[in-house]
Chain A
Amino acid sequence: MKNKELTFWLFITPVLLSLSLVVIVPVFMGLFYSFTDWNGLNFNNIIGFEHYRRLLEDEQFRNSLWFTFRFTFVSVIILNFVGLGLAVLVTSKLRSRNILRTVFFMPNLIGGLILGFIWQFIFIRVFSAVGDFTGFEGLLGWLSTPETGFWGLIILTVWQQAGYIMIIYIAYLQGIPKELIESANIDGATSFQKFRHVIFPLIAPGFTVSMFLTLSSSFKIYDQNLSLTGGGPYNSTQMVAMNIVDTAFSSNQMAYGQSKAVIFFIIVAIFSLSQVYYSKKREVDL
């Protein structure tokens, strides 16, 4: 008995230690610093909720938050839709399905910063070249307005992450027992009915995982945002992560940035956890 406990601690200690050193301790330090006038090197006073009060009046932070919500909402829907679609496509009887899996997954291997610059080139140069050639005005001036900046970010994110989400769905799609599909076939179900009533409930755990991943990653996007639009034009496409970095490192208001980060952490935690809770409830067991 004793021995078993020791083994337990033996295995958990390295993880526990590193986790507390790089996550848990910094979280509490950050929380503490958000109540001080810390400047990155040292602090003089504990100022209580001053920073949080200021946050309520910070219009740019509010705008970033709102932009991030909109972005997350749209990108989570499109990402899961596209990811699932790709998964269904490459688990079908297509001959090129193996190569397609690789192709769809590949964007995920490129770093967000580089992707941002590549897409910036596509949106600004390629789009305008095609637009000039065809006379289609919707392709001109991308990334120079808030709307095109928004959709540019969505396209970039979906293009990058859909492949990853696809892999998760593939795993669950392949885990569906053949008998169930077969019996549905015998019962005369149409493809849509099969998908809606057999496949979809069975891949619900995959849905939970993917929703969680897309939700939290969309909330926290920074590098794509930085390289694609840089927050421009006029900070209209600045997401919360970027707003925090700017506050802390470019305006040099470390403690204020920290308090924004605390609020952001709480928001992301609430959304992610409640999403997992509700999705879990819908999963079915075989």
Chain B
Amino acid sequence: MFKGKHFYKGLVLMSAAGVLAACGNDGDVPGTDGADDNGNGETEEEVSLAIMQGKVEFNNQFNELADMYMDENPNVSIEITSVGGGTDYFTQLTTRFSAGDEPDIFSVAGPNEFEQMAEYLADLSDTDAANAALEGTLTDVTGEDGVVTALPYNLEGYGFIYNKEVFEAAGIDAEAISTYEELEEAVQTIDGQKDDLDIEAVFAFPGAEAWVPGNHLSNVYLTHEFDENVNEAYNAETVAFEKGDEFQRMLDLQVDYSVGPVLSLDYSQQVEEYFSLGQVAMIQQGNWVYPTLLQMDPEFAENSVGMIPIPLEGYENQLPVGVPNYWAVNSNKDDATVQAAKDFLDWMYLSDEGKDFVINEFNFIPAYEGYDDMEISDPISQIVYDYSERGDTIGWVFNGYPTGWTNNEFGPNIQAYIGGEMTWDEMVENSISAWESLK
């Protein structure tokens, strides 16, 4: 027989230990698990790279690329975590850092994220990729001392994506539109014939998405206030809306000639339902919609889609092009790991296999030199690349807006303006004071 007391005491302790053990289970980070030596004769040290990144769309292709790299370099094992959506990603990244499970390579976007991760950014100046990066793509991530702390993923650009068939049928040459007046005239012409053209409206404007007017459209009118420099926007105490009138009339134009009700129209309706099915003549979006268009109707996507810049007085025919995401290497790791991380990034963007993947599988618009002789597969990306090559671009500053400004203040204010709850002046005033208070 057990002596009751000891028996119970033991049980209590055991159950307590069980609870604690269950809670502390995440301590065993996969350190060197790619250990199954398949006798390739490699003598190099085993390295494992944990990658965490925020562009979930190309997760599968990225994993394939990593597999290819691991086949070539048996001593390297790569583990990829992809987390979707801007805010969720960064929260999870910081959570992993504070839990001690730090990734070796991670993606960062925007000055605020850079500032928060500053102590973890390794110096990447000596990588080949940094030397091959296109002009301008590193300015946002180069410190005053010339140290490059991150490498661009790719380039992205946006404007008015239009349906060539509709424009042709209406007798309008979209490429010739460069001013607001010309655009307005074209819109009115199309609107006048919408029954003949068999479309529902000229635009599909997604008022439910704060970022479409709040980040992308506003960027066109605010970027020159900050010299097209995202860090300048990030450090700015206030915003003036110098080109507010132009901004207002462009917003009005899109809303007035849009499928309604604008305020509940979202991105997927805009792109999938209205544009890809030929219900509207144009939408304000970027090259990222192409895979969706291709999925909906390959023939339409390949032959009938074009893109023109959003007209801005004094800066005609310039497309907003930027780097949405950067790769950073964790400086908190040992030298071998940091070097392995750099090698992987160099290989991804500069080796022949890597380049082929970047263009054809990722469908990236390359932010690096050495892609001249390669064909970019989709027409919208080609347009973006052409504009960047010519230098006819304006910079992205919206990643430098105060954190939460677009989603919680500016975006809702624009929605209130569209819904008639606020006048334009109230909208501007409100948004300016929100900017100042968030700084």
Residue ranges of A at the interface with B (Cβ–Cβ < 8 Å): 2-3, 6-7, 9-10, 13-14, 17-18, 21, 39-41, 60, 124, 140-145, 230-235, 246-247, 249-253
Bound together, the chains give a CA A114 to CA B40 distance in angstroms of: 48
The residues of B that contact A40 with a CB separation of less than 8 Å are: 91, 94, 98
**Set B19, B20, B264: member contacting A141, Cβ < 8 A:** B264
Q: Once the chains bind, are B419 and A145 in contact (CB under 8 Å)? A: yes
How many Å from the CB of B119 to the closest CB on chain A?
10
Q: Once the chains bind, are A233 and B415 in contact (CB under 8 Å)? A: yes
Closest to B404 in A: A251
Q: Once the chains bind, are A141 and B260 in contact (CB under 8 Å)? A: yes
Contacts beyond the supplied A144-B261, A144-B263, A234-B421: 16 A-B pairs with Cβ under 8 Å: A6-B4, A9-B12, A10-B15, A13-B12, A21-B23, A41-B94, A41-B97, A124-B264, A141-B261, A144-B419, A232-B208, A232-B415, A233-B412, A233-B419, A234-B419, A252-B404
Q: Once the chains bind, are A250 and B404 in contact (CB under 8 Å)? A: yes
B207 within 8 A of A: yes
Closest to A246 in B: B408
Q: Once the chains bind, are B15 and A233 in contact (CB under 8 Å)? A: no
Q: List 19 A-B contacts (CB under 8 A).
A: A6-B9, A10-B11, A13-B12, A13-B15, A17-B19, A41-B97, A60-B408, A144-B262, A230-B208, A232-B263, A232-B412, A232-B415, A233-B263, A233-B264, A233-B412, A234-B419, A251-B404, A251-B438, A252-B404
Bound together, the chains give a CA A10 to CA B8 distance in angstroms of: 7
Q: Once the chains bind, are A233 and B97 in contact (CB under 8 Å)? A: no
Q: Once the chains bind, are B261 and A41 in contact (CB under 8 Å)? A: no
The residues of A that contact B12 with a CB separation of less than 8 Å are: 6, 9-10, 13
The residues of A that contact B97 with a CB separation of less than 8 Å are: 41
B112 within 8 A of A: yes
The residues of B that contact A140 with a CB separation of less than 8 Å are: 261
Bound together, the chains give a CA A75 to CA B105 distance in angstroms of: 47
Q: Once the chains bind, are B412 and A234 in contact (CB under 8 Å)? A: yes
The residues of A that contact B412 with a CB separation of less than 8 Å are: 231-235
Bound together, the chains give a CA A142 to CA B263 distance in angstroms of: 10
Interface mask (B2-29 → A, CB under 8 Å = 1, otherwise 0): 0011001101100110111001000000
**Set B19, B112, B416: member contacting A234, Cβ < 8 A:** B416
Q: Once the chains bind, are B208 and A250 in contact (CB under 8 Å)? A: no
Bound together, the chains give a CA A234 to CA B427 distance in angstroms of: 11
Counted as pairs of residues, one from A and one from B, with CB atoms less than 8 Å apart, the total is 100
The residues of A that contact B421 with a CB separation of less than 8 Å are: 234
Bound together, the chains give a CA A11 to CA B341 distance in angstroms of: 51
10 tightest A-B CB contacts, nearest first = A251-B404, A144-B261, A144-B263, A234-B415, A234-B416, A144-B264, A234-B412, A141-B261, A233-B263, A235-B412
Knowing A10-B8, A40-B94, say if A143 contacts B404 (CB, 8 Å).
Answer: no
B407 within 8 A of A: yes
How many Å from the CB of B392 to the closest CB on chain A?
33
Bound together, the chains give a CA A279 to CA B404 distance in angstroms of: 42
Knowing A3-B4, A21-B23, A235-B412, say if A252 contacts B261 (CB, 8 Å).
Answer: no
Closest to B414 in A: A234
The residues of B that contact A235 with a CB separation of less than 8 Å are: 408, 412
Q: In residues 384-427 of chain B, which contact A (Cβ within 8 Å)?
A: 403-404, 407-408, 412-413, 415-416, 418-419, 421
How many Å from the CB of A111 to the closest CB on chain B?
17
B87 within 8 A of A: yes
Q: Once the chains bind, are B404 and A17 in contact (CB under 8 Å)? A: no
The residues of A that contact B5 with a CB separation of less than 8 Å are: 2-3, 6
